[in-house]
Amino acid sequence: MLSRLRSVEGSAAAACDAWPLMEAMYPICRSITGDGVRQTLDLVQQRLPLQRTEVPTGTAVFDWEIPKEWNIRDAYIADLQGRRVVDFREHNLHVVNYSTPVQRSMTLEELKPHLHSLPDKPDWIPYRTSYYREHWGFCLRHRDMERLGPGPFEVVIDSTLVPGSLTYAECVVAGRTQGEAIVYTHTCHPSLANDNLSGIAACAALAKELRGEHPRLTWRFVFGPGTIGSLAWLSRNEPRLGRVRAGLTVGLLGDGGALTYKRSRRGDRVTDRAAEHVLRGVARARLVDFEPYGYDERQFCSPGFDLPIGRLTRSPNGQYPEYHSSADNLDLLRPECFAESIRALADMIALLDENRALRNLSPKGEPRLGKRGLYGSLGGGAPGEFEHALLWVLSFSDGEHDLLAIAERSKLDFHLLARAAAALEDAGLARPLEEEPPAMKLGAHV
Amino acid sequence: MLSRLRSVEGSAAAACDAWPLMEAMYPICRSITGDGVRQTLDLVQQRLPLQRTEVPTGTAVFDWEIPKEWNIRDAYIADLQGRRVVDFREHNLHVVNYSTPVQRSMTLEELKPHLHSLPDKPDWIPYRTSYYREHWGFCLRHRDMERLGPGPFEVVIDSTLVPGSLTYAECVVAGRTQGEAIVYTHTCHPSLANDNLSGIAACAALAKELRGEHPRLTWRFVFGPGTIGSLAWLSRNEPRLGRVRAGLTVGLLGDGGALTYKRSRRGDRVTDRAAEHVLRGVARARLVDFEPYGYDERQFCSPGFDLPIGRLTRSPNGQYPEYHSSADNLDLLRPECFAESIRALADMIALLDENRALRNLSPKGEPRLGKRGLYGSLGGGAPGEFEHALLWVLSFSDGEHDLLAIAERSKLDFHLLARAAAALEDAGLARPLEEEPPAMKLGAHV
Amino acid sequence: MLSRLRSVEGSAAAACDAWPLMEAMYPICRSITGDGVRQTLDLVQQRLPLQRTEVPTGTAVFDWEIPKEWNIRDAYIADLQGRRVVDFREHNLHVVNYSTPVQRSMTLEELKPHLHSLPDKPDWIPYRTSYYREHWGFCLRHRDMERLGPGPFEVVIDSTLVPGSLTYAECVVAGRTQGEAIVYTHTCHPSLANDNLSGIAACAALAKELRGEHPRLTWRFVFGPGTIGSLAWLSRNEPRLGRVRAGLTVGLLGDGGALTYKRSRRGDRVTDRAAEHVLRGVARARLVDFEPYGYDERQFCSPGFDLPIGRLTRSPNGQYPEYHSSADNLDLLRPECFAESIRALADMIALLDENRALRNLSPKGEPRLGKRGLYGSLGGGAPGEFEHALLWVLSFSDGEHDLLAIAERSKLDFHLLARAAAALEDAGLARPLEEEPPAMKLGAHV
């Protein structure tokens, strides 16, 4: 499964292929609502069928409600000569995201509370938002801030904040069983490349490839805004959550940092074990424990849902210098790192999809494999690797171990064990636990 | 809570304040029953209101019964010249505690089976008892024993061993919830300072201070004799034991040894976890596993009660040279060590009292903290420490973690988390589990 | 228990005593059925009463059935001069075990697919079998194979493969309780000494000695063929398996390798814990995790039985150069190693037999040991080792710990604790859990 993306060559080709998409998405001013998100999804949809959902302003989602929709056409601070000293058209980070409209003449003194800069990074524009308190402001290079005269300035934000809707989209790859898996990536950041065009492009590549397979689980790739987007998705999919066997939130997949898997809240779920298994083979990769700050894993892992969902990034949020600034641009992305991220994700998805717990249907003693053509007939010498894999799967198909647990314990290759499991299923000697009552299924997947 | 005693200055002042009490208690001949215990409690009661209990001789307490009451006025061994060569009035350790009355003329040969000394510590008087077999004897310096002539000697023990009662006392500081905690210290040792005037004086100081607070738990400071005293207390409080959330037996708090916490029988109870958390910050401090020998933790942790009660001492019983001898006197006590013991106990009590498990009342996704004034409104930058504490408490208020577990996992300060928990309770976002059915409460405190 | 075999001298004497038995068994051509097995059991029966079972050909045992019975009188490859170039009478490994009859003239070219040798060990005859596919063949030294001319050869195997029965035998030493334990050793290998005359002889020695004791458990020493023998035993003893508390498969006990205990499938059963306890004191000994390849532990530990049965060998199967070849002969056996194996087995059997979980019948506080003569009456000094053992057994006789767990935790000697447990049982203060309902028993033995 996903064998092309799991190879070095295939993942490099997919990374190459993703570059024009990221370049096209980069200039768009995205936010948690608005046309910027829709235009972004249009670009993705050129590669991938998407199901879109519009959730109207005011809709209750748990403790929250969908905010007004924000759109922006222009914004600037101009001096007396009409020269734009801060210009949204030059960089969309210049406006505090979700700023209310303004058109006013102001002195520097009056304007200052609305200006944000990074004194220790004077050449970078910071990224600021104000989604849930009506507010406006500008972000600018500290170097430029210091050059501002006393004013007065003409201050204009040509935005709208009115009832509308929040937009998210899904690419659903249907599976052969009732189980489901989620891959969520946030789409709300404006011109920031690693955070999170890299996540959108990686998901598009993975979803596109997976559509050519027949997975065991139904895989839902969800493209939505941070926090309110995952909350909206959860609120509209709550009855289905009992089917979720695994999942990931992904983003920040292109920088030069080490691959970093953040465990689910419980830390011992199948996604966590799969990450440990896969990342053991990736140079520099590391696993960190859950903390309740970060991206949408915060919502998926909240105690009321407690889903088996971890997070894969390279540098985590806030842990690279360019984070949430104009320096997080396309130049920050390293193709070989982005390709490695795709490869690791493909490995994890393939493993999570093929993983299953089986029930040994002939559990009293070993079944006679020889009479089924599964075991060499001449005794006295040692059996081969596939015969060992058959014995391991039979021995631990006891309702307490899945194939991943057997791989960890036997040190045999996971995919060899999956082939042995398939042979035993074909021979009628084992059956996936998912065909048993739900109580067993849950036990086997915890 | 207990902030004065938790400071270096405050605990030093409390140690100073305890000295006159220990000096006043030192000369009294205590035992497991009798007027010596009552006089000792009188001294404590000058500082602290106590509820006293007298349990009559013959009362059944589990497999035991309350013994006869023992009192002693005088005892000596005199030579032919009437000179007291061993004199109870010189040191009350000279008589085997609970000795039956005797008045007889005896040769050294006849007397010898009744004499106890320490050949390898010839200047120290040993401490010996015979509570449950009627017997009499004298303890003396080995140096003096060797000087005894052949006799005959006049041997007198002017004691009584008759029906009476066993005395213990409690200082109860009422709490705001149904939960209770126990601090037990033994009161039965005669002129031994570290073991256990230090325990009595420390409990008096802590109980006095706690009476000025409004604790969550009801704290019972119990002053009673070893073994039969805790058994008597347990037998009269059995219906209430289900409320006990935490507890300690304490003693030996003034010597120069390292603070030593002995775990409860199960070793993973909340008191054990609190000790580990607090003692991590105390130089030289160590934690040792439970063994069924020691002080009254033997009774509290017996399998029929199995209470979450550990023990705090400095040197454990039997592990300092002066143990159970006349060398365990007031000079052995080191004020700075005694103050450190008080400080550690105050830290543990404060932590155990503030610790609680909460139920997140808005567990599906994160609640919107911003609209309740609990979260900064301008996004894009990192949240502060208090906001992190709020997220941690919400995320792990799942019925399986208490604040101490969250502190251990998050590395955030316990008291910061307790403040965050209070803010969430005030905002109606969380509720202590103690207001839920008992089955949940137990789970949360294991 | 088994004190003679647990001593260095006694185990050395037992090893000496076993040598003539192994010498007598060595030349016999054993297989999974047939007269070779019966002759072998006759030799054992000269030392030990055995109950024999014959299971007819065709009997279903789980997924298998009892094969036809195989017997062989002669076999050879002769050249044109009638000279036997390969001769069964010279070494019974020369014939592939379970070869069908043949009498034919063949060229070397035709014969080659039926010849097996070890090119990298040209002086050894390999051991090969073909139990479940009708086949014939010869095994020979590679050196001899290379010398064979082009033929033709007269090829004769004078064997029979016809309906008959499979033979296994048991020595049962009856115990005082309902619990049982199994020691299984395979009897199917022809002239191979370490694998497994050493296992047969060690079991004979242990069973003989144990018959002089009154064990707590009923011990069943089972002598049967590999795989189909243990399956046959299991199928005829299935209703009794719930009583099995512990057990071992044994073999390969005489080579110079380190003692090796292979854990049961679960790895935390009482047999596993006993092995860890005993082997800690044996130089070079090691414990390895279960894998579903090896000897009859494969059947006992299959998930449908999941018995608490581990395996003791010296070198494991396949891990010494002489394994499954004519070099595994009597010269390979080292008496001091064989004696060490007997000693370790005797230690494990004694420990498993004496181990039990008790219920403290006076669990509220400590019972008053003094009034029962179990505790010194003069207090103030430290109690002795036996008194400590009493306190440990009382404290942890809580339904969750057996004596072995108490020994591990207390660091006290297992047999001292067993004596303390007996004293408490005699005093009516504790009762073995086996006299309580089965649910408790299972919990205590997991």
User: Mind listing the pLDDT tens digit for each residue in C411-425?
Assistant: 999 999 999 999 999
- CA-CA distance, C217 to C213, in Å (whole number)? 11
Q: Is the dihedral of CA A87, A88, A93, A96 positive or negative?
A: positive
Structure tokens at C443: 């919990």
pLDDT for B246 equals 97
* Residues C277, C408 contacting (CB under 8 angstroms): yes
B127 touches chain C (CB under 8 A): yes
* Residues C263, C309 contacting (CB under 8 angstroms): no
A364 touches chain C (CB under 8 A): yes
Chains touching A (at least 3 CB pairs under 8 A) are: B, C
CB contact under 8 A, C303 and A363: yes
B63, B306, B318 member nearest C362 (Cβ): B63
Residues of C in contact with A366 (CB under 8 A): 63, 227, 292, 298-299, 302
Distance from CA of A286 to the nearest CA of C (A): 28
Task: Determine the length of chain C.
Answer: 446
Closest CA to B248 of B207, B303, B193: B207
Confidence of residue C380 (pLDDT cuts 50, 70, 90): low
B368 touches chain A (CB under 8 A): yes
SS (H, E, C) chain B: CCCCCCCHHHHHHHHHHHHHHHHHHCCCCCCCCCHHHHHHHHHHHCCCCCEEEEEECCCEECCEECCCEEEEEEEEEECCCCCEEEECCCCHHHECECCCCEEEEECHHHHHHHEECCCCCCCCCECCECCCCCCCCEECCHHHHHHCCCCCEEEEEEEEEECCEEEEEEEEECCCCCCEEEEEEECCCCCCHHHHHHHHHHHHHHHHHHCCCCCCCEEEEEEECCCHHHHHHHHHCHHHHHHEEEEEEECCCCCCCCCEEECCCCCCCHHHHHHHHHHCCCCCCEEECCCCCCCCHHHHCCCCCCCCEEEEECCCCCCCCCCCECCCCHHHCCHHHHHHHHHHHHHHHHHHHHCCEEEECCCCCCCCCHHHCCCCCCECCCCCHHHHHHHHHHHHCEEEEEHHHHHHHHCCCHHHHHHHHHHHHHCCCEEEHHHCCHHHHHHHHC
Confidence of residue C381 (pLDDT cuts 50, 70, 90): low
Compute φ and ψ for A267, nearest 5 degrees.
85, -5
In a mutational test of the B interface, the residue from C366, C369, C431 whose CB has the highest number of chain B CBs within 10 Å is C366
A375 touches chain C (CB under 8 A): no
Answer yes or no: is the ipTM higher than 0.95: no
Map residue A10 onto helix, strand or coil.
Answer: helix
Of the given ranges (A21-25, A372-376, C430-434), which has the lowest mean pLDDT? A372-376
Map residue A366 onto helix, strand or coil.
Answer: coil
For residue C306, the chain A residue with the least C-alpha distance is: A364
A365, A370, A409 member nearest C299 (Cβ): A365
**Is the pLDDT reported for residue C439 higher than 50?**
no
Distance from CA of A310 to the nearest CA of C (A): 29
B371, B382, B392 member nearest A292 (Cβ): B392
B91 touches chain C (CB under 8 A): no
Count of beta carbons in the 10 Å neighbourhood of residue B51: 11
CB contact under 8 A, C392 and B303: no
CB contact under 8 A, B304 and C382: no
A127, A299, A318 member nearest B366 (Cβ): A299
C283 touches chain B (CB under 8 A): no
- CA-CA distance, B222 to B203, in Å (whole number)? 9
Closest CA to C126 of C137, C110, C111: C137
Burial letters A301-326, b for 16+ CB under 10 A, else e: bbbebbbbbbbbbbbbbeebebbbbb
CB contact under 8 A, A305 and B410: no
Q: What is the CA radius of gyration of chain C?
A: 25
Query: Strand C180-186 and strand B165-173: pairing?
Result: unpaired
B379 touches chain A (CB under 8 A): yes
Task: Determine the length of chain B.
Answer: 446
Instruction: Check residues A59 and B434 and name the one with the higher pLDDT.
Output: A59
In a mutational test of the A interface, the residue from B362, B364, B369, B387 whose CB has the highest number of chain A CBs within 10 Å is B364
Distance from CA of C52 to the nearest CA of B (A): 48
DSSP structure class, residue C331: G
pLDDT for A330-358, tens place per residue? 999 999 999 999 999 999 999 999 999 99
B132, B299, B304 member nearest C370 (Cβ): B132
Residues of C in contact with A388 (CB under 8 A): 293
CB contact under 8 A, C302 and A395: yes
Distance from CA of C363 to the nearest CA of B (A): 4
pLDDT for B1 equals 92
Residues of B in contact with A230 (CB under 8 A): 365
A60 touches chain C (CB under 8 A): no
**Is the pLDDT reported for residue C440 higher than 60?**
no
C121 touches chain A (CB under 8 A): no
Among residues of chain C, what percentage have pLDDT more than 70?
96
Map residue A106 onto helix, strand or coil.
Answer: strand
- CA-CA distance, B371 to B364, in Å (whole number)? 17
pLDDT for A177-213, tens place per residue? 999 999 999 999 999 999 999 999 999 999 999 999 9
pLDDT for B435 equals 54
In a mutational test of the B interface, the residue from A63, A266, A291 whose CB has the highest number of chain B CBs within 10 Å is A63
pLDDT for A379 equals 66
Q: Helices B403-410 and B385-396 meet at what angle, rounded to 10?
A: 120
A366 touches chain C (CB under 8 A): yes
- CA-CA distance, A31 to A35, in Å (whole number)? 9
Low-confidence stretches of chain B (pLDDT beneath 70): 376-382, 435-446
In a mutational test of the C interface, the residue from A359, A360, A366 whose CB has the highest number of chain C CBs within 10 Å is A366
pLDDT for C384 equals 87
For residue B373, the chain A residue with the least C-alpha distance is: A133
Instruction: Name the β-bridge partners of B249.
Output: B184, B311
Q: Quick one: chain C helix, strand, coil %, rounded to 5?
A: 35, 25, 40
A90 touches chain C (CB under 8 A): no
CB contact under 8 A, C129 and A380: yes
For residue A62, the chain B residue with the least C-alpha distance is: B364
Residues 6+ apart with CB under 8 A from B104: B154, B155
pLDDT for A68-95, tens place per residue? 999 999 999 999 999 999 999 999 999 9
* Residues B300, B307 contacting (CB under 8 angstroms): yes
- CA-CA distance, A313 to A337, in Å (whole number)? 11
CB contact under 8 A, B292 and C381: no
B374 touches chain A (CB under 8 A): no
**Is the pLDDT reported for residue A410 higher than 70?**
yes
CB contact under 8 A, A364 and C301: no
pLDDT for C362 equals 97
Mean pLDDT, residues A357-378:
89
Chain centroid to CA A186? 7
Residues of C in contact with A363 (CB under 8 A): 302-305
Structure tokens at B286: 């160590």
Place of tokens 């696993």: A287
B129, B265, B293 member nearest C379 (Cβ): B129
CB contact under 8 A, A379 and C129: yes
CB contact under 8 A, C395 and B292: yes
For residue C383, the chain B residue with the least C-alpha distance is: B293
- CA-CA distance, A326 to A323, in Å (whole number)? 8
Distance from CA of B407 to the nearest CA of A (A): 12
Compute φ and ψ for B404, nearest 5 degrees.
-65, -40
Burial letters B69-82, b for 16+ CB under 10 A, else e: bbbbeebbbbeeee
Residues of C in contact with A380 (CB under 8 A): 97, 126-129, 324
* Residues C128, A378 contacting (CB under 8 angstroms): yes
Instruction: Check residues C107 and B437 and name the one with the higher pLDDT.
Output: C107
C126, C131, C234 member nearest A365 (Cβ): C234
A363, A377, A395 member nearest C292 (Cβ): A395
For residue C63, the chain A residue with the least C-alpha distance is: A367
Of the given ranges (A105-109, A274-278, B132-136, C371-375), which has the lowest mean pLDDT? C371-375
Burial of A237 (0-12, 13-18, 19+ CB in 10 A): middle
pLDDT for C374 equals 87
Residues of A in contact with C97 (CB under 8 A): 380
pLDDT for A14-32, tens place per residue? 999 999 999 999 999 999 9
pLDDT for B380 equals 65
DSSP structure class, residue C194: I
Residues of B in contact with C362 (CB under 8 A): 62-63, 304
Compute φ and ψ for C193, nearest 5 degrees.
-90, -55
**Over chain A, what is the mean pLDDT?**
95
Q: Is the peptide bond before C152 cis (omega within 30 degrees of 0)?
A: yes
A396 touches chain C (CB under 8 A): yes
